[in-house]
């Protein structure tokens, strides 16, 4: 199971590389064409924005796995280990709650985004905003597992330098 998860995240890393490279090439080519030749590729502007949206939300999944999201930990690092576990449990439950709200909102807006068509690519906008579904599910699962780990004492935080992953 661990190998399958590692393989999935490796594929996700490669997808992020592809999205960033594609976005970079499209924007660079458009700049060169606009300033050098007075024209551009219309589809590249729209696709680069779509790639950026996917890059952000898929990157959030990878960042959550590696516990790399920014956080304010002044209070958490200054309290006892028991209180720290309680605070980290609450924080991860709040992340889980946000993920539930994002998932519910995305599912409620699914029909609107599926029928709203992008002006240049003519793609349904659900192809852009649909990335919120896997992001909210995966980040939510990881936050739920971490909250459970902190609540039961099976997971320690990085401040105590005794990190066990539930990955």
Q: Where are the domains of the chain?
A: 2-159
Q: What sign does the CA torsion over 69, 74, 80, 86 have?
A: negative
Task: Tell whether the model's pLDDT for residue 55 goes beyond 70.
Answer: yes
Which residues touch 76 (CB under 8 Å, ≥6 apart)? 84, 87, 88, 91, 157, 159
C-beta of residue 114 within 8 angstroms of C-beta of residue 124: yes
Residue 65 pLDDT more than 90? yes
- Token pair recorded at residue 75: 């209070």
Q: What is the pLDDT of residues 124-166, one digit of tens each?
A: 999 999 999 999 999 999 999 999 999 998 887 754 433 344 4
> What confidence tens digit (pLDDT) does each residue in 9-21 have?
999 999 999 999 9
pLDDT tops 60 at residue 112: yes
């Amino acid at each position: 199971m661990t190998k399958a998860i590692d393989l999935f995240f490796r594929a996700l890393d490669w997808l992020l590389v592809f999205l960033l490279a594609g976005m970079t090439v499209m924007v660079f080519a458009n700049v060169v064409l606009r300033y050098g030749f007075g024209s551009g590729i219309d589809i590249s502007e729209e696709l680069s924005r779509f790639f950026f949206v996917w890059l952000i939300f898929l990157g959030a999944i990878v960042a959550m796995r590696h516990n790399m999201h920014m956080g304010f930990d002044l209070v958490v690092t200054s309290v006892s280990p028991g209180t720290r576990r309680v605070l980290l449990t609450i924080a991860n439950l709040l992340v889980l709650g946000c993920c539930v709200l994002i998932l519910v909102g995305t599912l409620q807006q699914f029909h609107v985004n599926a029928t709203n068509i992008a002006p240049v690519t003519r793609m349904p906008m659900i192809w852009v905003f649909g990335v919120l579904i896997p992001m909210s599910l995966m980040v939510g699962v990881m936050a739920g597992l971490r909250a459970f780990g902190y609540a039961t004492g099976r997971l320690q935080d990085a401040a105590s330098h005794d990190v066990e992953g539930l990955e």
